[in-house]
Every structure is written in structure tokens, then in C-alpha cells.
Amino acid sequence: MAAVVVERGIDFYVIGTAPGRPRAFSLGVERALAVDQDPSLDRVPGSLVEELRALPPSTPLAASSRALAASLRERLGRPVELAATDVLRAARDDLPRPEPGAERRLLLALARNALERSLRTPEEILVTLTREEERVERAVGRESRASESFLAVPGSPLADYSRRWATVRLSLEEHHAHLEEEVRAHARSVVPNLATVVGERAAARLLAEAGSLAALARMRAGRIQLLGTRRRPSPDRGPRYGILYRAHGMSDVPPGRRGAYARSLGALAAIAVRADATTRAPIGARLAARRDRRIAQLKEHRG
């Protein structure tokens, strides 16, 4: 009778070697997480390999998947076939019911691993830092406005409190300045062309608003122009720009021409971000020259 090795999650079962319940071997959660982080590691438990080595050489071996069969062939140095469908179906019927709690813990741990891997990429680091910088900026602005309305009566505990809170606000502002510079540096690395065209901070916020570089690169120029707006466009009145309001050169353009500049900048940004997402060709300087020419044209035509 053939011995069939069935893999289910991190558990392995050997069926057909002895009467009664299948022999169970577990990879273990820690080993499973290590294999998830480094797929080159062997995911077959050593105890399972030793069990199969103890079988007579004449015992046929079969596995529930081609990958498992190949791994066992390499470890055992003997033939291991892919189990037939009917044999595998009968073997699975003999398996014990899985424990829902254990499966749930494993899935949560694997999901956390996947999240940590994604957060280690330069793109996700930039998105995370940019969103944090936006949050800290709001906090700095909120506390600055609140401090203006706080009346510190001289010679009272209110004056002491005001001095202590001024020190905290200064520390928060310094933290925001360091965080902003870190965001700028990451933007120059992740989206160099876009950062050159619209500025590092605006480039980082465009990426964070889109969610990913791939999503931003798929957007049309008009969508990039309106990215980050808080009001829906309408035929009568609508926003002309969102995050691009913070873009390089916007303050140099006359207020009545900023909508036109945002349209031009959106088109240049679309070209820049597609290069960042695909070829990584350094076209930022050429696009910035076109941007500067557009600024000069808009300054001349103020009507």
C-alpha cells in the first residue's frame, strides 16, 4: 500500500503506513513565518522526512502536490509521485478537522508578514511618511491657532502653563521640519522626475493620495490636476487644482492664470510619473524647462 503525504496549511499527514488515524507532523508557526519571509527555506518538517526514511524502500510514496513531491524526492533520494485524485480525495476524508483558532492565528501572522514586507519598500515608506507629515502639519497648525486664543495672565499659573506649552509646540514644529525634509529626500529617490517637475513635497502627496506609484502612473493629466480636491467639480463652479496648489511655481503665476498653469502642470506630471514608474529615464530637467516656459507665458498674459 502506498504512503500518501498530504499537506494542509502548516500541517502534514502521512496516510497508509499504519492503521488508525493519520500520522501528523507540523511545520510550526515560527518555521512557517520564516519560510514565508524566505521561500528558499525547506517547508517540509524534518520529523516527516525521518518518518518516510524509516519506511521500507519498496513502499510507494505519493504527495498531494507536485511541489511537495519534488521537495520529498530531493530530501529522500527516492521516487515520489503525485497522488491520484481519487486516492487524494479518500486521504483527505481521513484527516482530522482543523482547529479554527490555530488557523486564524496563522493567517493573521502571515498577513502581518506581508504588510511588513510591503512597508519596507521605498514606495510604501514614502507613502507612510507623507501621510504622517500631513497629520503632523495639521497638528502644528491646530495648536498654533489655539495658542493665539489662549490668554496667559501674567503672574498666574496660566502664564507658566503657556510657557511650558510653547516649548512643546516648538519641539513639535522642529519634528515637523525634520519629517518634511525626510519626505523630500525619499521623494527625490522614489519619483525623481515628478519631484523635479512639481516639487518634492507635492510629488510625495500626489503619490500618497493615489496610494501607489502604479495607480498614479495610470491617471490622466486631468485626474492628477484634481487629485486631493475636497469638492466635486460641477459645470458652474468646481476646483481647478488640488495638491498641485502646493506645486513648484504656483505662487509665481498670477491668481487668474493658476487654473491654466495647473492644467499644464498636470500634463507634465503625468509624463514624469509614467517615466518614474516604467523606464526611470531622467526626463525631469526637460519637463522642468517646459514648465518654466509656461510660467513665463502666463506672467506675460495676465488677462
pLDDT, tens digit (0-9, with 9 covering 90-100), for 231-262: 655 555 556 678 998 899 999 998 888 889 99
What is the architecture, at CATH level 2, of domain 3-117? Answer: 2-Layer Sandwich (3.30)
Query: Helix and strand tally (H, E) in the chain?
Result: 13, 5
Superfamily of domain 191-303 in CATH is Nop domain (1.10.246.90)
- pLDDT at position 221, please? 93
Closest by Cα among 145, 165, 148 to 157: 165
Distance of CA 228 to the CA centre of its chain: 19
What mean pLDDT value characterizes the chain? 86
* Distance in angstroms (rounded) separating the CA atoms of residues 290 and 296: 10
- pLDDT at position 235, please? 54
218 exposure class (CB count in 10 Å sphere: 0-12, 13-18, 19+): middle
Query: Residue 134's pLDDT band (boundaries 50, 70, 90)?
Result: very high
* Distance in angstroms (rounded) separating the CA atoms of residues 32 and 37: 9
pLDDT digits (tens, 9 = 90+) for 2-61: 788 888 877 888 887 666 567 888 877 777 777 777 777 778 888 888 888 888 888 888
pLDDT digits (tens, 9 = 90+) for 162-212: 888 889 999 999 999 999 999 999 999 999 999 999 999 999 999 999 999
* Distance in angstroms (rounded) separating the CA atoms of residues 201 and 211: 15
* Distance in angstroms (rounded) separating the CA atoms of residues 119 and 137: 22
Q: In terms of pTM, does the model score above 0.95? A: no
Span 125-151, average pLDDT: 90
pLDDT digits (tens, 9 = 90+) for 112-122: 777 777 677 89
* Distance in angstroms (rounded) separating the CA atoms of residues 205 and 223: 14
Task: Give me the percent of the chain exceeding a pLDDT of 90.
Answer: 40
- pLDDT at position 233, please? 55
Distance of CA 276 to the CA centre of its chain: 17
